[in-house]
Amino acid sequence: MRITAADVPALERGVALLGSGGGGDTVTAAVLLRRMTESGREPVVHPIADLPPDTLVVPVGIVGATAAFAEKLPSGDEFVSAIAAIERWTGRRAQALMTIEIGGLNGLLPLVIAQELGLPCVDADLSGRGLPRLDQLSVAATGRGVAPVAMAEPGGRVVVLAAAPASVVESGIRAFLAGSGGWAAIALAPIPAGELAEHTVPGTTSEALALGARVLAAGESPELAALETALDGQVLARGRVLEVSRHVGPGHHGRPGFGRGSATLTDHRDGALLRLEMENEYLLALRDGLPVASTPDVLSVLDRRTGVPLQCDAIRAGVEVDVVCLAASPFWTDPRRLPLLEPRAYGIDCDPVVAR
């Protein structure tokens, strides 16, 4: 699959939806991808099955504060440095790239990096949606592990975490980011293509592109039935945001956690109150106090007028919105992996409510 300039708006909309309110603003990455494709440099995305089994695929992405990323743009050297560091550490050369996360800006930026480096991209990722922590990636869920991982921050520092459990890698990266520019490019150890089907969520770039194309084709302010058909999902509520509250979430080892909050709206259809619990992503929807949808399904909030997904840090009182739910990848509804993304994984004492 070749990504053309005409594909960029649909792909941007698809990855923004799959970000579930997180993953970072897609605008900057979309501009970079659009300019590149308009100049004739079109990245090629390969299905897993099309790659020779011994092809070494390096997962890459951005971690940290996406707001800091928008303020302190990459030079381009960060990804090159991170990939070079993981190649030196493992002694294996990258022959293809894949994104660590299809949701948000990481759904777009690795396509730009792969084209710049002359490498193919793989139609798969390690998340299937937007996720806040590295210890929630698919390679952690399957037991393969996250380490070794190389990080390169905008100031030029490069760090390799050679060996540690996924939770330790996550806390180590957060400590590194706190003392650097707030974000870093990362590269994980190469994964042979023959092992990707077991350890990744396949087909996510093509699915994001198809999702975005359907939603854009439905137009602005579509009727409920048309929106649900385009999303292949459910509209949980259509109404005006009444209140948004924010606070610091539960921390670990004496350090504060991610920002936590909730948004409440009245469903214009029947007057029911819908409350969304959120962290970096939207996590749980309660209708008149009863849970009706939750992670690992993808909850997204769309501006009613434009259809653009609203990130958790951008939702405000007074905005007319559609709250929608997209079914999670079967990878995450597997009972062996569900505990990694269910509400209790975020400190919310609630059983998961998963679309069937």
* pLDDT tens profile 211-259: 999 999 998 888 899 999 999 999 999 999 999 998 776 655 445 567 7
CA-based nearest residue to 301, from 265, 259, 250: 265
Question: How sure is the predictor about 68, in pLDDT bands with cuts at 50, 70 and 90?
Answer: low
**Please, what CATH class does the domain formed by 220-346 belong to?**
mainly beta
Peptide bond into 222 cis (omega under 30): no
Q: Which two tokens stand for residue 146?
A: 């996250």
Please state the rounded mean pLDDT for residues 5-32.
Answer: 94
6-204 with 220-346: one CATH topology?
no
Q: Tell me the whole-structure pTM to 2 decimals.
A: 0.93
Radius of gyration of the chain (CA): 19
Q: How far apart are CA 102 and CA 212, in angstroms?
A: 13
Q: Which two tokens stand for residue 15?
A: 């990855």
Element (H, E) at 151: strand 149-152
Question: How sure is the predictor about 266, in pLDDT bands with cuts at 50, 70 and 90?
Answer: very high
For residue range 34-65, what is the model confidence (pLDDT) as tens digits?
999 999 999 999 999 999 999 999 999 999 87
Q: Which two tokens stand for residue 188?
A: 């994980």
What is the structure's pLDDT at 254?
A: 45
What is the structure's pLDDT at 246?
A: 85
What is the structure's pLDDT at 274?
A: 97
N-terminal to C-terminal alpha carbon distance within the chain: 30
What is the structure's pLDDT at 354?
A: 86
Q: How far apart are CA 76 and CA 154, in angstroms?
A: 9
Please state the rounded mean pLDDT for residues 8-28.
Answer: 94
Q: 294 and 342 in contact (C-beta within 8 Å)?
A: yes
Q: 82 and 152 in contact (C-beta within 8 Å)?
A: yes
Please state the rounded mean pLDDT for residues 106-131.
Answer: 95
Sign of the Cα pseudo-torsion (257, 330, 19, 163, in order): positive
For residue range 153-201, what is the model confidence (pLDDT) as tens digits?
888 899 999 989 999 999 888 888 887 778 899 999 999 999 999 999 9
Per DSSP (E only), the strands in 17-115 are: 45-46, 56-64, 96-99
What is the structure's pLDDT at 156?
A: 86
The separation between CA 16 and the C-alpha centre of its own chain, rounded to angstroms, equals: 8
What is the structure's pLDDT at 253?
A: 43
Which residue type, as a one-letter code, is found at position 291? P
Q: Which CATH architecture has domain 6-204?
A: 3-Layer(aba) Sandwich (3.40)
pLDDT over 80 at 72, yes or no: no
Report phi then psi at 238, rounded to 5.
Answer: -135, 115
CA-based nearest residue to 101, from 188, 42, 160, 162: 188
Q: 241 and 265 in contact (C-beta within 8 Å)?
A: yes
Sign of the Cα pseudo-torsion (202, 222, 316, 326, in order): negative
What is the structure's pLDDT at 352?
A: 95
Q: How far apart are CA 285 and CA 278, in angstroms?
A: 9
Sorted by where each begins, the domain ranges of the chain are 6-204, 220-346
Q: How far apart are CA 156 and CA 77, in angstroms?
A: 9
Report phi then psi at 312, rounded to 5.
Answer: -60, -35
Q: How far apart are CA 319 and CA 308, in angstroms?
A: 12
Q: 236 and 276 in contact (C-beta within 8 Å)?
A: no
Q: How far apart are CA 239 and CA 271, in angstroms?
A: 9
Sign of the Cα pseudo-torsion (252, 101, 214, 329, in order): negative
Q: Is pLDDT larger for residue 65 or for residue 207? A: 207
Q: Which residues contact 308 (CB under 8 A, 6 or more apart)?
A: 13, 16, 302
What is the structure's pLDDT at 154?
A: 86
What is the structure's pLDDT at 178?
A: 81
